[in-house]
Amino acid sequence: MSGVLTIGLLAFAVGLAMPLGACLAKWERLAQYRFSQQIHHGVLAFGAGTLLSAVALVLVPHGAANLPPAVACGYFLSGGFLFMALDVLFDKSRTPASQMAAMLSDFIPESIALGATYILHKESALLLALLIALQNIPEGFSAFRELRQSERFSQRRIIQLFILMALLGPIAAVSGLLLLNNSPGIVSAIMLLAAGAILYSIFQDIAPKVRLEKHWLPPMGALLGFSMGLYGFIYIA
């Protein structure tokens, strides 16, 4: 029972990074345009760095440990194809909440993977939780900016919505913990699916938006994000 409570609280804390990102975007709107653009691109790069570190240091190593190479690669590629299909769907629907939907489609499987990882390696689960939280900040940041373009959503309403979305994290994480307790193969498959989806998202949605003409600092956010994951990986090794 203590493990269920721990992973539930951890997943909720991770989810609260989404409204935190929205609050940062709310503050960013008050900054001067040139400075705010640099902040926006730097936050995106930071998110890409943390996502890449989650893939390279946690999800792929632990996911591939319990599966044959060909099967592991199949799940990894399937995660990318799944998110590609979601990308096409979001593009065709042209809703003002596509970034929010993409954020949820990241957060829920990652929370399941968090609960499943807790079964295999508690220290890695803590590192993964940190990396997901760091990822959720720029995703909340971008989703807030997108939703504010619609007059249907006030700033307060968006932040409240993100807080409610954070409650989905504990549900998904506890489900992963309880239902996959004796299924290391399924746990590995989920981790590799999430890894493939994340890597697709980095190169499709995040990395192309990092570069800012006549500014060279924003890409350093990616190195900072990855270095934080690297520090945690070395610390728990």
User: What burial class does residue 177 get, using C-beta atoms within 10 Å of its C-beta: 0-12 exposed, 13-18 middle, 19+ buried?
Assistant: buried
pLDDT in tens, 126-152: 888 888 888 788 788 878 877 877 667
pTM score of the predicted model: 0.74
Give the pLDDT of residue 236.
66
* DSSP letter, residue 170: H
Alpha-carbon span 141 to 159, nearest angstrom: 11
Give the pLDDT of residue 166.
92
Collect the ranges in the chain with pLDDT lower than 70.
Answer: 1-2, 28-40, 93-99, 102, 105, 150-151, 205-220, 222, 229-230, 233-234, 236-237
- Tokens 């699916």, residue? 193
* DSSP letter, residue 31: S
Longest pairwise C-alpha distance within the chain: 54
Instruction: Using alpha carbons, select from 26, 74, 48, 19 the residue that is nearest to residue 192.
Output: 74
Helices (H), the chain: 2-15, 17-28, 33-54, 60-64, 69-93, 98-120, 122-147, 155-166, 168-179, 184-201, 207-210, 220-236
pLDDT in tens, 87-105: 777 777 665 556 677 677 6
Give the pLDDT of residue 211.
64
Q: 3 forms bridges with which residues in the sheet?
A: none
Every domain of the chain and the residues it spans: 2-236
Alpha-carbon span 156 to 19, nearest angstrom: 10
Give the pLDDT of residue 11.
92
- b/e map of 125-140 (b: 16 or more CB within 10 Å)? bbbbbbbbbbbbbbbb
Do 158 and 148 contact (CB within 8 A), yes or no?
yes
214 Ramachandran zone, left/alpha/beta (phi>0; psi -120 to 50): left
Cα radius of gyration (the chain): 17
